[in-house]
Chain A
């Protein structure tokens, strides 16, 4: 199918065109033409690094997920601010924590890793070579097990429902 060859990721093409229009902030035919050209070229050029297509079981569930993450960023930013400002440096218990994940799609794992980094207090430092465990660094984790369970129940379980 030649159309499939020209648009290996149709969703990405639509998304990039809209992205371009918003970024250029001009809703004219010229911008649309340029945007559509770029949105056709970029997926073609990057296709070799993106062989599979992310399969979403429930795309709409991404919105409440985004809401939860944003809310957590706000709440835990205050916690991190408190640690930075008031906890004596020698009482900060930092720890590396191995967090196993049963997510299989690379996009889902990447999203989980990004979520861990963006929510304050934890950040993803590495992934195991088989892609099944994330290495997470926690700024202040007196109880590493609590951090591990928190990530699994709050984020991973939701991502598992979103991605097929």
Chain B
């Protein structure tokens, strides 16, 4: 591996670590639960992403094969993170947030979390 490639990989790793740190720092600094939900889903996304790109780069240049598995990790990450964030947000909607502080949908129906399922389950 050339020196340049090593520098790129090292920079990506440092960037990944920095963003992970900023995400965790956000958990401490932001003041309510909805705000704190932003820090780990966001800055950390880029942190993990940078680390994965670094690994893919390293595998490609040092071992000479395509890092398909690392790309899959990113796919899993991007398809599961929104779900866990959504469920955490729903918990906060039920527990911490006054109903009247939410904007109405404006279409005549209410937000799904506060609407009982129709008999026989959802269709």
Residue from the list B29, B31, B93, B112 in contact with A129, Cβ < 8 A: B112
Q: Could you tell me if A123 and B41 are in contact, using CB atoms closer than 8 angstroms? A: yes
Say if the beta carbon of B32 comes within 8 Å of chain A: yes
Chain B, range 68-95, C-beta contacts under 8 Å to A: 68-69, 72, 78-79, 81-82, 85-86, 89-90, 92-93
Decide if A130 touches B39 in the complex (CB within 8 Å): no
B90 and A126: CB pair below 8 A? yes
B112: chain A residues at CB < 8 Å are 126-129
Chain A residue with the shortest CB-CB distance to B35: A94
Size class of the B contact interface (CB-based, 8 Å) = 35 or more
Q: Is B43 in the interface zone, CB < 8 Å from A?
A: yes
SS class, residues of chain A in contact with chain B: mixed
CB-based contact B32/A85 at 8 Å: no
A128, B103: Cβ atoms closer than 8 Å: no
How near does chain B come to A108, taking the closest CB pair, in angstroms?
A: 14
A30 to B29, CA, bound (A): 51
B101 contacts chain A at the CB level, 8 A cutoff: yes
Q: Is A77 an interface residue (CB 8 A)?
A: yes
User: Which A residues touch B110, using CB under 8 A?
Assistant: 128-129
Chain B residues with CB below 8 A from A73, complex form: 45-46, 49
Q: Is there a chain B Cβ closer than 8 Å to A120's Cβ?
A: yes
Interface residues of B in 32-57 (CB under 8 A from A): 32, 34-35, 37-39, 41-43, 45-46, 49
Question: For residue B32, which residues in chain A have a CB less than 8 angstroms away from its CB?
Answer: 94
Q: List 26 A-B contacts (CB under 8 A).
A: A73-B46, A77-B42, A80-B38, A80-B42, A84-B25, A84-B26, A92-B35, A97-B103, A113-B86, A118-B45, A120-B41, A120-B42, A120-B46, A121-B38, A124-B89, A125-B86, A125-B92, A125-B93, A127-B111, A128-B110, A128-B111, A129-B110, A130-B105, A130-B108, A133-B105, A137-B38
**B residues lining the A interface (CB < 8 Å):** 19, 22, 25-26, 29-32, 34-35, 37-39, 41-43, 45-46, 49, 68-69, 72, 78-79, 81-82, 85-86, 89-90, 92-93, 101-113, 115
